[in-house]
Structure 1
Amino acid sequence: MMFVILLLTLLSHISQNAATFTEGDLQFTAAVYEYDVVLNWECMSSNGCSREDALLTVEENLVAYRRTAREAKELEADILLFPEDGLGGLAGDRKSLKSFAEPTLENGTNPCLLAQNGEIDVSSYYATIELSCLAREVGVYISANYPTSYDCQECNFEYCLYNTQVVFDPTGCIVTSYRKYNLWIGEDLTYNVDKQPQLKYFDTPFGRFGLATCADLLWESPVVEVVREMNIDTLLLPLYWGDFFPHQLSHSCESGWAQGLQVNLMAANIRSTSEWSSGSGLYHPDGKQNYIHKPLESSSVLVVEALDVHPAKMSTNWNQYANQHSQDYASWSDQEFTEIVYGDEFKFIPITVGQNKVKVCTDDNFLCCLADYQVDNLEDQFSLGVFSGLHSKDTVVRDSWYMEMCSVFKCDPKHSKHTCAQDLSYDYDFLSRSETVFTYLNISATFSDDTNVYPQVLFDNVELKPEFVNISPDGVLGISGTEMPGLISMSLFGRRYSMDSPIPEQFCPST
């Protein structure tokens, strides 16, 4: 009986209303949905649940998706991105996740029409069919993330499970799909990955789009490679990403990667107060954005913004200034101290009141961070920190990735365990608020020539304020301006991909 009801619901949404778009338009309207997902805790237990029970949860989430897609259509959106795990297929083991997984269909197929004609089984392809019909009804591109599976003999399992992003065009046809490669901690218990990361993109009348998912952002492949090799205009990034202080807050990374890669970036996150998960938006390569970040609130939000079809790009030589002027900056070794920050040993030098130029370098002087600034009153002690080396805290498929980091944030040598090791703190008020206002602050670093750099600046209430931020062509990240709010952190997040650990010959879920 339930599947009869679901089928009737499905067919009621079939429509031929497709949006039109003029090839010569210079901008398009993008929409992302930050969603407080409905979960079924019984399904997420180790005992799992039936496919029928899983679909009841999927349908609850699809109710919100339909409402949001219709709202996006009213706001004249051309493309809508939903978040990672947004249909409730979130689980700690393969048995519970399998109930949510669906087989994949070939690109160019129209699941909505196939269901209407009785050519595919509704219960097996329910989410795929519903999303296809929704795209067809509202006439916009829709990208959604949910588990997929097929029979295989890999890793001593009878089936493979993938974290999959599927894109539907305005007629309901599947345009392309992407299977996440760089899994996050916990996903190694459930998901398979391909032998190599996939480089997936699709063309529209309003530019070329590339696909990645959540933690993929931190790696060269697929993100940098799909930007570089496929010449995309906009990156689609569904994610389930909490606030990891001081350097890995979702909206800060989203903005920084849009600027570092010089592409538009569409990011849709899950909203979860228990995990400080929030941070979705639409980001331009020049720093402008429309975003939401409300990790302590539970309401879902639709964000809509006009983006350039082919965004203008700015070239930045991220080590030019620092290489030319490092000798002009003083280094006081008697004031330096070290602290573990998010698993890595940083070297710091305190920021002092007044106008100063300071420098801190790694022990081997391989990487030096420079700062010139003026601050009249330090409500909290800030320090300039540097780190260069392999980072292994966030890795699953590969063992480690290489980071070169230059950062200013609240870090007091007298209370370093509480203030510097921010990933261990649960004091969200301390982490997210600041009354320390710099008159100006500029940072730069002697990065390796092959390092990709992603600029990040967070102000009081961990807000992005691009109107106070400037990036010079010779690699200086600066903030200045009247009525500038207090600073939370300011970083040059460097990734030296050539030093990352290699891709394994075979990755297997570790259940």
Structure 2
Amino acid sequence: MLYHDPAVVMASRFQINTILFLTAWVNTLPLLSAAQFYLVQALGMGVNFLSANTHNSTLDMTGSGIYAPDSPRAYYYNTEMDNGHLLVTELSSHPHLSSDYPVAVNWTLSAIFPCSTCGQPVETVQTKFEMFSLSGIFGISYIFPEVLYSGVQLAPGEFKGAHIIVTPEDGIYGWRFTRESIYPYLENIPDPVVNWIPCTDPSRFGPAPVQERLSCMARNNSIYVVANIGDKKPCDSSDPSCPRDGRYQYNTDVVFDAQGKLVARYHKYNLFLGEDQFNYPKEPEAVTFETPFGKFGIFTCFDILFYEPAVVLVSKMQVDTVLFPTAWMNVLPFLTAIEFHSAWAMGMRVNVLAANTHNTSMEMTGSGIYAPAGARTYSYNKKTEDGHLLIAELDAHPRLSPVSPPAVSWNSYALSVERFSQNDHEFTGIIFEDLFTFTELTKPGENLTVCQKNLCCHLSYKMAEKRDDEVYVLGAFDGLHVIEGQYYLQICTLLKCPSTNLSTCGQPVETAQTKFEMFSLSGTFGTSYVFPEVLYSGVQLAPGEFKVMGHPCDLSDISGQKPTTRAT
């Protein structure tokens, strides 16, 4: 790749559209880290670039990516561990015909790095540049512009090609506030019917510096911007519900369109424990808005576990895509962010754009762009506090897409199944304070049933190998969950236990060695709202590797399948 022939020849003479690049690249900062230099090849040569790098952190080999001429569509750079990573995204087959194709230039941006004995490798910095312009007089037309952020992150024109960006709950002002301490951060956020562009008329509804900044970001980048901020509304004694301090304070999502106009405002209805600085609205709000690329709905974090407004937006309002700012604390085994949010997209047959606050000390990590057929891209990182920008393409109308799973009658198959014989290993265990009924998987393959109240769960499975050092169970729960809120749950789960001691079953597990050649899991659920989850070892999703059929979820005959910690 570093030479004229054949690399440059292919692009300049043969006018190819895409380069396939297999490599075992040893990263060399400051100019030749893999993800960094591959991107500039795509940009400099004006082609798509599909690079697959060997991943061996001991040899400084990491960094694969799928790059378009205007930006990386997906890339992976991880020096912390030796887990591989599959990258999947869409590219224009003829990038030079794309509207995002960069214009020809005769100047370049190059790497910028601080002097720490200048020229030696540097990975992290604190300095931010509001702007810079860098050019040179080069004696060659093949120029490869590079910009690298702290933490070895690429810095392309992030918004290019994107239509909408979602930011996390509490992402602007943080958390741990009282009603009084949050008040200076609140602004009057009007109903979007007022037809307001804060960027051009910032004082129309009182001081609104945050809304002005967000509106200008949207307007200046021609992109929809979604953010979570705080709203304040005065009240008085004529309102019997008016708080003592004379105002309502709301956890609020706002959306500005590509012209910077306020097009949506949502007040969070299902407040989580500790959100005492906010009030909940008197009625749940089903907030939607139309765009040239589909109908959108919006809600926040804890809302996703309740019927209103989350399910209503899909079942009654028929949105195509849900915008989901969140500050989600991961709770294994069922409620890790990437696991449940992707399952919700699949179960509801909509796109979900989930932006999670990243704070590992509070178990907050995991953002993703999810389609009904699986995650288009996601990030789950417990090792560092580095944020991550995710970019992917989605079908504007996913229910019409041929790759979306069909509508499912979730319990029809389970009701038709003659109850499998129960074994002699049934026992109870606690998961997140809920009492489950378990039965142990004692054989390499068999059919099992476990029941609790009105719910029966049926499992057919075959392990590649039955290990003596790992225990799996089939579990059922049918009841009211009362910890951190109250909601009714029915759960069928295939679950790995932390040890061979059955009393540990239900405790958090992140790793496994056992592989399943196939399994089929179904349940006699009393609702049509069912969210299928499969999680691999290392808290990894299994996008595209299991199917939601007209009856149960199936995972079978998949090359390169990984050890599974649970399926629910």
Length-normalised TM-score, structure 2? 0.68
- Is 1:468 the counterpart of 2:545 in the alignment? yes
1:331 partnered with 2:422: yes
In the other structure, the counterpart of 2:414 is 322
Structure 1 residue 383, shift from structure 2 partner: 0.5
2:295 counterpart SS class: strand
Corresponding position of 1:252: 339
Residue 75 and residue 148 in structure 1: after superposition, are their counterparts in 2 closer, same or farther (change >3 A)?
same
Report the equivalent of 2:514: 436
Question: What is the number of equivalent residue pairs in this alignment?
Answer: 411
2:456 equivalent in structure 1: 368
Kindly indicate whether the alpha-carbon contact (under 8 Å) linking 1:83 and 1:145 is maintained by their aligned counterparts in 2: yes
Give me the whole-angstrom Cα distance separating, in 2, the residues matched to 1:71 and 1:389: 49
**For the residues of structure 2 that align with 1:243 and 1:451, how far apart are their CA atoms?**
25
CA distance in 2, matches of 1:338, 1:82: 41
Alpha-carbon distance in 2 for matches of 1:452, 1:270 = 27
Residue 206 (structure 1) shift: 0.5
Q: Distance in 1 between matches of 2:543 and 2:191?
A: 42
Tell me if 1:358 matches 2:436: no
SS at 2:353's partner residue? Answer: strand
> Counterparts of 1:233 and 1:221 in 2: how far apart (Å)?
17
Match of 1:156, SS?
Answer: coil
Cα distance in 1 between the residues matched to 2:563 and 2:337: 20
Contact 2:471/2:497 (8 A) holds in 1: yes
Query: CA shift at 1:296, angstroms?
Result: 2.5
**Which letter maps to 2:537?**
D
Is 1:146 paired with 2:146? no
In structure 2, distance between residues paired with 1:170 and 1:276: 34
Q: Distance in 2 between matches of 1:71 and 1:84?
A: 25
Give 1:343's aligned amino acid: E
Alignment-derived partner of residue 488 in structure 1:
565
The equivalent position to 1:186 in structure 2, one of 253, 274, 279, is 274
| Identity in percent | 31
2:290 aligned partner, one-letter code? D
Give TM-score, length-normalised by structure 1.
Answer: 0.76
Aligned residue in 2 for 1:273: 360
Could you tell me how far 1:483 is from its partner in structure 2?
A: 2.1
Q: Tell me if the contact between 1:339 and 1:421 (Cα under 8 Å) persists in the aligned partners.
A: no
Per-residue deviation, 1:475: 3.1
Q: Distance between the aligned counterparts of 2:246 and 2:178, measured in 1?
A: 15
Give the Cα separation in 1 of the matches to 2:375 and 2:177.
37
Matched position secondary structure for 2:538: helix
Is 1:453 matched with 2:539? no
How much has 1:419 moved relative to structure 2? 4.1
1:18-417 matches, cutoff 5 A: 74-107=159-192, 108-115=195-202, 119=204, 121=206, 124-153=207-236, 154-187=242-275, 189-311=276-398, 312=401, 313=404, 314-327=406-419, 329-332=420-423, 334-362=424-452, 364=453, 366-375=454-463, 376-378=465-467, 379-395=469-485, 400-411=486-497, 415-417=501-503
Residue pair 2:159, 2:223 contacting (<8 A) in 1 also: no
- The SS at the match of 1:326 is coil
Q: Which of the pair is proportionally richer in helix? A: 1
Question: Can you give the 5+ residue segments of structure 1 that lack an aligned partner in the other structure?
Answer: 1-28, 33-59, 423-430, 492-511
Flag the structure with larger Rg: 2
Q: Please give the secondary structure, in 1, of the residue aligned with 2:418.
A: helix
Please tell me whether the aligned partners of residues 455 and 477 of structure 1 are also in contact (alpha carbons under 8 angstroms).
Answer: no
Task: Render the CA deviation track for 1:101-147: whole Å, top value 9, x for unaligned.
Answer: 111134120111113xx6565xx311111001111110100000011
Deviations 1:368-419 (A, max 9, x none): 1111111112342110100001111121xxxx21100000112379634544
Q: Which amino acid aligns with 2:445?
A: Q
Partners of 2:182 and 2:554 in 1: how far apart? 44
Alpha-carbon RMSD across the aligned residues, in angstroms, is 2.6
How far apart are 1:262 and its partner, in Å? 0.3
Taking CA–CA contacts closer than 8 Å with sequence separation of 6 or more, which of the two structures ends up with the larger relative contact order? 1
Q: Deviations over 1:443-465 (max 9, x none)?
A: 101111x3410000000111112
Tell me, in whole angstroms, the C-alpha distance in 2 between the residues paired with 1:266 and 1:324. Answer: 36
Structure 2's unaligned 5+ residue stretches are 1-70, 75-126, 131-148, 237-241
The structure-2 alpha-carbon separation of the partners of 1:441 and 1:190, relative to structure 1 and needing over 3 Å to count, comes to same
Provide the residue aligned with 2:102 in structure 1: none
How far apart, in 2, do the equivalents of 1:355 and 1:131 lie?
55
CA contact (8 A) 1:264 1:284 kept: yes
Quick one: which amino acid aligns to residue 517 of structure 2? Answer: T
Distance 1:120 1:368 in 2: 56
Shift in Å at residue 186 of structure 1? 1.0
1:74 shift after superposition: 4.5
Matches of 1:71 and 1:183, distance apart in 2: 37
Structure 2 distance, partners of 1:155, 1:345, is: 39
Question: Aligned partners of 1:440 and 1:211: how far apart in 2?
Answer: 37
